[in-house]
Structure 1
Amino acid sequence: MSNSLITYVKLHKVSLVLAFLSIAFYYTFAYHLERTDFIKLVTLFAALFFLCFKLIQFEKWNFRFLLIIGILSRLVFLFTEPNLSQDFYRFIWDGELVSNFLNPYLNVPDTLIGQSDLVIANAQQLYDGMGSLSARHFSNYPSLNQLFFAIAAILGGKSILGSIVALRGIVILADIGIFYFGRKLLKNLNRSPHLIFWYFLNPLVIIELTGNLHFEGAMLFFFVWAMYLLSVNKWQWAGVVLACSISVKLVPLLFLPLFLKHFNFKKSLLFYSIIGATSLVLFAPFYSSEFIHNYSKTIGLWFSNFEFNAGLYNGIKKIAIQFEAKPWELIKTYGKLTPILTIAIVLLFTFLRKNQNLTVLLSSMLWILTLYYFISPTVHPWYVIFLVTLTIFTSYRFALLWSAVVVLSYFAYSRTDFKESLWLLTIEYLSVYAYLIYEIITHRNKK
């Protein structure tokens, strides 16, 4: 062992031990955890957050060291199936359809599985794995996401595990891209570049994206890239890249009105035209007379049929039930009000804030998405990752706390009836609300 290596080990021995423990815990999470074991899940999650905090605290200027730890933590999951989500079965199903030039927006799996000439490899296993809820609905994943699924299906060589490895490769590359452009964007915003590690080493990010194969990371790669392009005044290319982000997940659509004040009126129209044209090109291969109806119908279900880890909605439902309201009717009524409230929130932040400044623009995005999640009846843990990303580029940190406590929502998976614990959800949301209020007061006092 060379003298320089010995010296390095001596200087960083505590961090090396923490890194080893972190990777060991990720290995345990990936290969030795059932999602029904809530106590083990929460314990591992808490330990990984503590290790993440200490690694960033000790080595925040040692970029190469933390980058390698982040990559190794992701590679641990490479050859295992996701253990907290079954969505990957639908990803591969859609990818098989697209790779065989079949439109995933025109037929539901319940219909396709009965066809004798179905060309999907491992069709029955994928159908059984995705579950009845996914199987009876049209695909809700946008066009560029479908392309990623198709690439994974092709590279997977008609093997489910092969497709999983390919999907993981895409997700890991997207996270490295976020690290690259996120660090550049932080420098352009005169913020410390080490803040990117609160994304790159965040256990929620590693477990939900690389581990469970959710494609928020791909969406965020294009989003962060677009924001970086705005920071260097390459707004035309930013429009193209932002359209790619929307074509992976629709969430960035919420932020489009904000650009009315970020640019002048004429420039904003050109920006919207670029986004619209790019989006049309990306969706064109899937267009048919039935596409818009089927896709909008599926998206509408998220407002009026599903509920999970809700904040405000659970409080309203609890009160409404005392007045003999029927939960299945309440969710439909509430689902009709949610888009109206969301539009009102977006318009307020569009016209009442000075979004010309990129820092203010990113802050407005953070508030819009935060308030949207507060009122939404469905907030899956991986949704919070977008807030974590936006938080890095602002002076607020409440989303980091939320990324730690959102694991409490997984208690539902430990129950055979998937019933949530309102006590645990109360702890989750009260801690987030309390810290958010503290930060708001602190920021006002500083001003």
Structure 2
Amino acid sequence: MPLWVGGLIAAGATTVVIASASASWFPNLALLAACLLLVALAWLLTRRPAGPHVVLGIVLFAAVCQLPGLTQPPITSTDAYRYVWDGRVQLSGSSPYSHVPLDDALANLRDPILFPGLSPTDRSGVTGPPRLPHDPAALATLSADDPRTLINRPSVPTIYPPIAQAYFTVVALLTPWSAGTFGLQFAAAALAVALTALLATELRRRNRDPRWAILWGWSPIVALEAGSAAHVDVLATALIVAAVLTAARRKPVLTGLLLGAAGSVKLIPLLLLPAFTSLRRQRTTPSVALGTFAASYLLHLLAAGTLVIGFLPGYLTQEGFSDGSSRSAILALLLPPETRQLTAAILAVALALLAIHRHGREPIAVTCCWLYGAALLVTTPTYPWYGLPLIALAVLAGRFEWLAVPVAAYLAYASFGHDVRQGLIHLTAALIVGIAITVRHRSPAEKQFDARVRALGH
């Protein structure tokens, strides 16, 4: 592995992290350029024979790419401050599902980092869990940020599921209050580097070039969302990849446990259940996954009762999933608002049925890749870090065209409020994917590659 290649990518990751603190157009240009450079370098590297220590080199430079994000507070969102708070609340013996961050009952847990404008002796006037209104305008007012704290939505309970909460608690136990979000940033960076090693090792085991793992490990997106923003999606990604690998080794119970745990970190991984479902064989994996997901809530259900659902209903309303509308940027270009929700639901069912139909006919990583990627294109969620699992799945499946989807999500995120522009950005990513799939099916060389991947993926 040439040192200049790793150094160039590390410099690119540093540029993206630093540039993202700016509010101008430059961060988007830097991110797009860095991603294109990464893909080009990966392609060039894989044209040459791999050295004996290539995996070690990939992992070391993956660690270097995470360092810039650790030097400053989170950039792309304030989610990490909520993570810190949730972990701290649980260590105190309370539940983040039944107490909101501004609750005066938890005033002794405040510190100057999380609450720069509210000391433990100050009163916020908030006590007890709020009742979530059904009116979108009132809900938006209740969930608005408060200048007295860095925690987002401080007047509503948490949204994060139990395995994520366990993760927050463990990190909080090991992190002093004065370190702020650093413990979570370090943990996310370590997970990203460990996943790089896992991907590279697995690719080598499948007789594929391990250097393709740099598309995850050296990605500027991963640098932004792991070492910098500390998003819990990195943990969900690691569990999804582990589930895919155990499924390929025909370990249905372990696969179900891992997939259920991933769903209990972030709900989105549950969309992959159809990829693990067969109509002709035993359906152990989806049953265990759903059981694991449900079981993870038991202790919290005993502690918080029905409050265990947290802010989830409100979040779904704000994202357009429960009020009959849809934020799908692509569908918004083509359909009136009243038909988007139904269309998205029909597409989701069709994708699920196709995944079940394809079970056993292609590697599970391939099915998970296009299923997850298509789900993102249909729903176009507001937050681009939801695409982290797709990057790892694209590397594992060898379907690199899907990397266009998370890149487009960042460009659209920067265009928030410009609906047509957002739709066109996502539509461009969909066209890139569609063209690549068409070319693959028509190219003899790609057919041979797919046959080799299919043989090695089962």
Calculate the TM-score normalised by the size of structure 1: 0.79
> Is structure 2 residue 289 aligned with structure 1 residue 275?
yes
**Equivalent position of 2:109 in the other structure:** 119
Tell me how many residue pairs correspond in the alignment. 405
What aligned pairs does 1:55-66 form with structure 2 within 5 A after superposition?
Answer: 55-60=41-46, 61=50, 62-66=54-58
Cα deviations by residue, 1:19-65 (Å, 9 ceiling, x for unpaired)? 33433343344346534122x21232234224423542454433332
How has the CA–CA distance of structure 1 residues 440 and 129 changed in structure 2, closer, same or farther, with 3 Å as cutoff? Answer: farther
Q: How far apart are the structure 1 equivalents of 2:420 and 2:427? A: 12
What aligned pairs does 1:344-363 form with structure 2 within 5 A after superposition?
Answer: 344-350=350-356, 352-353=357-358, 355-357=359-361, 359=363, 361-363=364-366
Where structure 2 has 5 or more consecutive residues not aligned to the other structure, the ranges are 118-145, 448-458
| Shift in Å, 1:117 | 4.4
**Equivalent position of 1:27 in the other structure:** 14
Q: How far apart are the structure 2 equivalents of 1:21 and 1:311? A: 34
| Shift in Å, 1:251 | 1.6
| Shift in Å, 1:186 | 3.1
| Shift in Å, 1:139 | 1.4
Contact 2:328 2:378 (C-alpha < 8 Å) held by counterparts: yes
Q: How far apart are the structure 1 equivalents of 2:83 and 2:235? A: 14
**Equivalent position of 1:325 in the other structure:** none
> Is structure 2 residue 156 aligned with structure 1 residue 137?
yes
Q: How far apart are the structure 2 equivalents of 1:304 and 1:35? A: 34
Paired amino acid for 2:14: Y
Q: How far apart are the structure 2 equivalents of 1:430 and 1:248? A: 29
What aligned pairs does 1:259-298 form with structure 2 within 5 A after superposition?
Answer: 259-261=276-278, 264-265=281-282, 268=283, 270-287=284-301, 288-294=304-310, 296-298=312-314
Where structure 1 has 5 or more consecutive residues not aligned to the other structure, the ranges are 1-11, 321-329, 413-417
Cα deviations by residue, 1:158-202 (Å, 9 ceiling, x for unpaired)? 12xx24221122212222332233234434555433222211112
SS of equivalent residue, structure 1 residue 76: helix
Q: How far apart are the structure 1 equivalents of 2:423 and 2:327? A: 10
Worse-superposed segment, 127-136 or 25-34: 127-136
Contact 1:104 1:139 (C-alpha < 8 Å) held by counterparts: yes
| Shift in Å, 1:91 | 1.5
Q: How far apart are the structure 2 equivalents of 1:234 and 1:358? A: 17
> Is structure 2 residue 66 aligned with structure 1 residue 49?
no
Contact 1:262 1:357 (C-alpha < 8 Å) held by counterparts: no
Contact 1:30 1:80 (C-alpha < 8 Å) held by counterparts: no
The alignment yields a C-alpha RMSD, in angstroms, of 3.2
| Shift in Å, 1:219 | 0.7
How has the CA–CA distance of structure 1 residues 375 and 233 changed in structure 2, closer, same or farther, with 3 Å as cutoff? Answer: closer
Q: How far apart are the structure 1 equivalents of 2:248 and 2:197? A: 14
Contact 2:329 2:380 (C-alpha < 8 Å) held by counterparts: yes
> Is structure 2 residue 383 aligned with structure 1 residue 380?
yes
| Shift in Å, 1:379 | 4.0
SS of equivalent residue, structure 2 residue 115: helix
How has the CA–CA distance of structure 1 residues 124 and 165 changed in structure 2, closer, same or farther, with 3 Å as cutoff? Answer: closer
**Equivalent position of 1:415 in the other structure:** none
Q: How far apart are the structure 1 equivalents of 2:147 and 2:279? A: 47
How has the CA–CA distance of structure 1 residues 253 and 155 changed in structure 2, closer, same or farther, with 3 Å as cutoff? Answer: same
Cα deviations by residue, 1:373-402 (Å, 9 ceiling, x for unpaired)? 222152422122222222223343222233
**Equivalent position of 2:68 in the other structure:** 76
| Shift in Å, 1:102 | 1.4
| Shift in Å, 1:254 | 1.4
**Equivalent position of 2:198 in the other structure:** 181
How has the CA–CA distance of structure 1 residues 153 and 442 changed in structure 2, closer, same or farther, with 3 Å as cutoff? Answer: same
> Is structure 2 residue 97 aligned with structure 1 residue 94?
no
How has the CA–CA distance of structure 1 residues 272 and 399 changed in structure 2, closer, same or farther, with 3 Å as cutoff? Answer: closer
Paired amino acid for 1:71: A
Q: How far apart are the structure 2 equivalents of 1:410 and 1:70? A: 25
Q: How far apart are the structure 1 equivalents of 2:392 and 2:308? A: 31
Cα deviations by residue, 1:235-282 (Å, 9 ceiling, x for unpaired)? 3222222222122112221122333318713xx1x4344334433443
**Equivalent position of 2:434 in the other structure:** 437
Cα deviations by residue, 1:297-329 (Å, 9 ceiling, x for unpaired)? 24533324799984323314xx64xxxxxxxxx
Contact 1:96 1:121 (C-alpha < 8 Å) held by counterparts: no
Cα deviations by residue, 1:323-378 (Å, 9 ceiling, x for unpaired)? xxxxxxx48x745764564234313431x32x12561x333322322332222152
Contact 1:311 1:377 (C-alpha < 8 Å) held by counterparts: yes
Q: How far apart are the structure 2 equivalents of 1:401 and 1:91? A: 29
Contact 1:243 1:275 (C-alpha < 8 Å) held by counterparts: yes
Q: Which of these residues, 343, 349, 356, is aligned with residue 343 of structure 1?
A: 349
Paired amino acid for 1:289: G
Q: Which of these residues, 369, 394, 400, is aligned with residue 397 of structure 2?
A: 394
Q: How far apart are the structure 2 equivalents of 1:163 and 1:263? A: 51
Paired amino acid for 2:166: L
Contact 1:94 1:150 (C-alpha < 8 Å) held by counterparts: yes
How has the CA–CA distance of structure 1 residues 74 and 400 changed in structure 2, closer, same or farther, with 3 Å as cutoff? Answer: same
Cα deviations by residue, 1:405-435 (Å, 9 ceiling, x for unpaired)? 43322434xxxxx533633x35522432222
Q: How far apart are the structure 2 equivalents of 1:427 and 1:340? A: 22
Q: How far apart are the structure 1 equivalents of 2:355 and 2:20? A: 42
Paired amino acid for 1:429: H
**Equivalent position of 2:169 in the other structure:** 150
Contact 1:310 1:378 (C-alpha < 8 Å) held by counterparts: yes
Q: How far apart are the structure 1 equivalents of 2:288 and 2:63? A: 34
Paired amino acid for 2:371: I
Contact 2:327 2:379 (C-alpha < 8 Å) held by counterparts: no
**Equivalent position of 1:420 in the other structure:** 418
Q: How far apart are the structure 2 equivalents of 1:374 and 1:442? A: 20
Worse-superposed segment, 374-383 or 295-304: 295-304
Q: How far apart are the structure 1 equivalents of 2:164 and 2:309? A: 19
SS of equivalent residue, structure 2 residue 109: coil
Contact 2:328 2:340 (C-alpha < 8 Å) held by counterparts: no
What aligned pairs does 1:290-329 form with structure 2 within 5 A after superposition?
Answer: 290-294=306-310, 296-298=312-314, 300-301=316-317, 302=319, 303-304=321-322, 310-316=328-334, 320=336
**Equivalent position of 2:133 in the other structure:** none
What aligned pairs does 1:213-252 form with structure 2 within 5 A after superposition?
Answer: 213-252=230-269
